[in-house]
Amino acid sequence: MSVMNMIQALNSAHKVMFERDPTTVVLGEDVGYFGGVFRVTEGLQRDYGKQRCFDAPISENGIVAVAVGMAAYGLKPIAEIQFADYIYPGFDQIVSEAARMRYRSAGDWSLPMVIRSPYGGGIFGGQTHSQSPEALFAHIAGIKTVIPSNPYDAKGLLIAAIEDPDPVVFFEPKRIYNGPFDGYYERPVTPWAKHPAAEVPDGHYTVPLGKAAVAREGEEVTILAYGTMVHVALATAEANGIDAEVIDLRSIVPVDIEAIETSVRKTGRCVVFHEATRTAGFGAELAALVQERCFYHLEAPVARVTGWDTPYPHSMEWAYFPGPVRLGLALKKTLED
């Protein structure tokens, strides 16, 4: 066991798989000599060579297309998109090729590939470095979408994603890349400081895709969250003295509907909490699932606390960010209904 932050845990996952499986390769912008803008791939090219970890041109469409071809021919590529905001040029390849290959070939071909990307706000990245586009990928049949909230899960989920026979989009919340933060206070954290966060096994292990975790047990209300918002939910419940059960989804596709149903049937109330914009966000799907599965157990309407329906603001980031004040108000209203 070693104490690691999320960057170190993800780096460890890469090294474990490079040692275990010679078909594992990494490609992307600045992932080689530089080790990635957040240093997730640091040391891979030095230790394993340029054929297994190499830089790509500034062409997200090309990066994903090359990964599709590699996966089709037996490799296990990990394609890094430098920021989730840059993923849109590669969207056609993800949707039209990666997501559909197994179905198009009637199961003869599969694409064991991972598309990793830092995502979300909290570091004053502005409009083009802070987006949360997970709902776009959750809508596409044929790909899995994973979002860890802590170093232990990040490593285990990434190894599971690499070993999965189908494409996985793996979003990494950069606000918590470098360690824990006080989830209650709406303030930035120093993005480059390396703070240890959790004990993580040094070797191989997996966290199953599609299996949620109970981050906090409670009886009064269920909070459904993932990524950075798990920490904000935990801090908000504690600060307000609310007996909330916090469910860390970890994967939004596949989503652990059994864990959600078990919790909401117990508490009778549900608040969905995510950073992405509200309209057509993944919270809408979660609210619909809870309504369908738990209608007769609900004591109040399902509430959503999300980002605003605006482009991500730079100067107003902490007004946009769905923080503890808005979540606390929603929890109190839900308990009063």
Q: What residues are labeled active site? A: 129
How far is residue 269's CA from residue 333's CA, in Å, rounded to a whole number? 11
Cβ neighbours, 10 Å, residue 235: 18
Separation of alpha carbons 303 and 224, rounded Å: 10
- For residue 276, give the 3-state DSSP assignment: strand
Ranges of beta strands (E only) in the chain are 2-4, 24-28, 53-55, 76-80, 114-119, 144-146, 168-173, 198-200, 213-216, 221-225, 244-248, 251-253, 270-277, 303-307
Strands of the sheet with 76-80, listed across from one edge: 53-55, 24-28, 76-80, 114-119, 168-173, 144-146, 251-253
> What are the φ/ψ torsions at residue 331 (nearest 5 degrees)?
-65, -45
Residue with tokens 């056609």: 92
In the block, tokens 């989804």 appear at: 249
> Which residues, at least 6 apart from 170, have a Cβ–Cβ distance to it below 8 Å?
114, 115, 116, 117, 146, 157, 158, 161
Maximum Cα–Cα distance across the chain: 60
